[in-house]
């Protein structure tokens, strides 16, 4: 992998990630020729005193690009006088600071990850070396953002499909660097701490993976180093969790064997998602995101656990298990799962598709 960093006309950072076979031949010296004013954002994080979580207020996002024509996509390479967010005429993978960030400055950081220069492609269309390059870019950004003074947790994710709310059709994802441990992760850490105390040191994530592998009926796909399953209490119609079999806290801790196998496993999962509802339905909308351990102090991790005598060792960062969660809001070829009263109002999900049936269907559409 070759990494080349540059700056856009308004001062934002942009980084090219190029495949090894092209790295020695490339000189990334294209300049952003757009007449852009310096970025001015007004992100603010406000704490909710009742729920104990936080909301990002980012009014400048009202003006972000919304469903542009295909020939005006800002994520395509720049060619001739058609100038975009990417100054060069081609790229493998590129990451840049979001022009309309939800989080910025002392409230965190938001980045865009373009998976390919091909506007009509999808992640599932990538070959394995290219998918590995995306994994390496995610890993590099996790390591870099871990050193950002305002970032406490890094979340690489992809939203795909207009049904999800995607406003740019080009294959891309995002990386959020949050200034706190997110509410979802906080709940996981509390559960992990309680399990560790109750079992005399057991790991909750290992327990969940072991239980799913023992049961077998919700397993979707297994490799030598990764396992994918529909969780027993899946919230979404079709939801898959992908874990490395050797527990690690984040992407930077994956070993070479895990990295080498990941592209085959992940691409197969995405291709199965696209076959779930038959050839006439089109590509399945989904959200896919990496859950990584936040960057907290040992004392902050210990605070999640019980302080009773004999409770055992406190929770530590290494107790968290990196995993990817992939799900779709489509429940049939013509019906979507909307978050209505119970889900949006009380955060109590109601799933119309039994997880066992979802896993069975995901096995049925395996590549031949």
Q: Is 13:141 a contact under the CB 8 Å cutoff?
A: no
Q: Are residues 154 and 193 in the same domain?
A: no
Q: Which structural domain, as residue segments, surrounds residue 229?
A: 183-364
Count of alpha carbons within 13 angstroms of residue 366, beta-carbon side: 12
| Pair (297, 187) in one structural domain | yes
In this structure, the answer to whether residues 47 and 78 fall within a common structural domain is yes
Domain boundary among 178, 203, 218: 178
Q: Do 265 and 331 belong to one domain?
A: yes
Give the residue from 178, 209, 232 where a domain finishes.
Answer: 178
Question: Which residues are identified as catalytic?
Answer: 172
Give the separation between CA 336 and CA 332, rounded to whole angstroms: 7
256 in the same domain as 202: yes
156 and 290 housed in the same domain: no
Last residue in a domain, options 135, 150, 178 = 178
Is the domain of 141 the same as that of 225?
no
Q: What is the DSSP string of 96-121?
A: EE-SS-SS-GGG-EEEEEE--S-TT-
Whole-angstrom distance, CA of residue 337 vs CA of residue 236: 8
Same domain, 191 and 174: no
Q: Count how many domains the chain has.
A: 2
Instruction: Output b/e per residue, 27-40; b: 16+ Cβ within 10 A.
Output: ebebebeeeeeebe
6 plus 119 within the same structural domain = yes
Q: Same domain, yes or no, for 245 and 148?
A: no
The domain that contains 49 carries what CATH number?
A: 3.30.428.10
**DSSP labels for 196-225?**
HHHTTS--HHHHHHHHHHHH-TTEEEE-SS
Residues in the chain: 368
User: Residue-wise pLDDT tens for the chain (368 aa)?
Assistant: 999 999 999 999 999 999 976 666 788 999 999 999 887 777 889 999 999 999 998 877 766 676 788 789 999 999 999 999 999 999 999 999 999 999 998 899 999 999 999 999 999 999 999 999 999 999 999 999 999 999 999 999 999 999 999 989 999 999 999 999 999 999 999 999 999 999 999 999 999 999 999 999 999 999 999 999 999 999 999 999 999 999 999 999 999 999 999 999 999 999 999 999 998 898 999 999 999 999 999 999 999 976 655 567 899 999 999 999 999 999 999 999 999 999 999 999 999 999 999 999 999 999 97
Is the same domain home to 80 and 12? yes
| Same domain, residue pair 199 and 309 | yes
């Amino acid at each position: 992998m070759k990494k080349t960093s540059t700056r856009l006309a308004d001062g934002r950072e942009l980084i090219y990630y190029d495949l090894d076979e092209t790295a020695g031949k490339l000189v990334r010296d294209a300049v952003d020729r757009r007449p852009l004013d310096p970025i001015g954002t007004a992100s603010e994080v406000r704490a909710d005193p009742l729920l104990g979580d936080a909301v990002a207020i980012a009014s400048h996002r009202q003006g972000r690009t919304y469903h542009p024509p295909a020939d005006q996509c800002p994520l395509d390479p720049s060619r001739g006088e058609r100038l975009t967010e990417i100054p060069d005429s081609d790229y493998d993978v590129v990451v840049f600071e979001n022009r309309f960030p939800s989080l910025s400055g002392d409230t965190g950081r938001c980045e865009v990850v373009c998976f390919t220069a091909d506007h009509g492609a999808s992640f599932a269309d990538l070959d394995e070396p290219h998918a590995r390059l995306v994994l390496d870019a995610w890993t590099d950004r996790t390591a870099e953002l871990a050193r950002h003074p305002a970032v406490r947790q890094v979340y690489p994710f992809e939203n795909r499909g207009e049904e999800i709310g995607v406003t740019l059709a080009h294959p891309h994802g995002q990386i959020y660097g949050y200034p706190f441990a997110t509410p979802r992760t906080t709940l996981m850490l509390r559960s992990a701490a309680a399990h560790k105390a109750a079992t005399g040191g057991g790991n909750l994530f290992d327990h969940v993976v072991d239980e799913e592998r023992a049961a077998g009926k919700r397993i979707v796909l297994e490799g030598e180093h990764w396992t994918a399953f529909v969780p027993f209490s899946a919230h979404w119609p079709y939801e898959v969790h992908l874990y490395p079999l050797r527990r690690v806290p984040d992407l930077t801790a994956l070993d070479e064997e895990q990295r080498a196998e990941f592209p085959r496993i992940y691409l197969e999962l995405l291709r199965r998602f696209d076959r779930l509802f038959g050839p006439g339905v089109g590509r399945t909308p989904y959200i896919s995101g990496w859950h990584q351990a936040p960057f907290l102090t040992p004392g902050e991790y210990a605070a999640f656990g019980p302080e009773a005598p004999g409770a055992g060792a406190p929770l530590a960062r290494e107790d968290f298990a990196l995993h990817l969660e992939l799900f779709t809001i489509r429940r049939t070829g013509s019906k979507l799962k909307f978050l209505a009263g119970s889900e949006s109002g009380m955060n109590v999900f109601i799933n119309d598709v039994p997880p066992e049936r979802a896993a069975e269907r995901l096995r049925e559409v395996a590549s031949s």
